[in-house]
Amino acid sequence: MADGRHIVITGTSRGLGRALVQPLVDLGHTVSGCGRSVSAAEAFNQIYGEPHRFSSVDVGDADQVAAWADTVLDTKGPPDLLLNVAGLINDGAPFWEIDAASFDAILRTNVSGSANVIRSFLPAMMASGTGVVVNFSSGWGRHGSADVVPYCTSKFAVEGLSQALADEVP
């Protein structure tokens, strides 16, 4: 582990976030991960143990993210790599058939979630003078498509967040 990096990953309950954990651990990195599923976090803690740590966190909830980040920063320090992977996609349907609650949930996780995580970790990363933030997007973040309007909207926002943040970060 001496040569490994500290990597923070969101969305480790399933999908790409979950798939990234094993290869990064195998490469000797320390992983601090979160996802909404309590059972997935508990299972990963059983499988990997220390120095890795997985927590149940809703990235759309700024207070939950801040509390999780405080714990991670206090125990592991700032990450060398911050991977904002957590995301939701809607079931394919015309936009006018997607209810407001579903649309809002996608934006809350995909956009606000990424912002909450960055806001909670970036100051410590900047203070340490190191680290990289990677916000996962999609081709649908650059080119819209029918039946996934909420997802496309959120990923366009993630692209804008990433570009504007790159201009702000030293």
Please list the active-site residues: 151
Coil/strand/helix, residue 108: helix
Measured between alpha carbons, how far is 128 from 122 in angstroms, rounded to an integer? 10
Structure tokens at 50: 């220390």
Inter-residue long-range contacts of 23-27, CB under 8 Å, 24+ positions, other chains counted: 25/52
Q: How many CB atoms lie within 10 A of CB 165?
A: 15
* Beta strand pairing call for 6-10 and 81-84: parallel
Specify the length of the chain in residues: 170
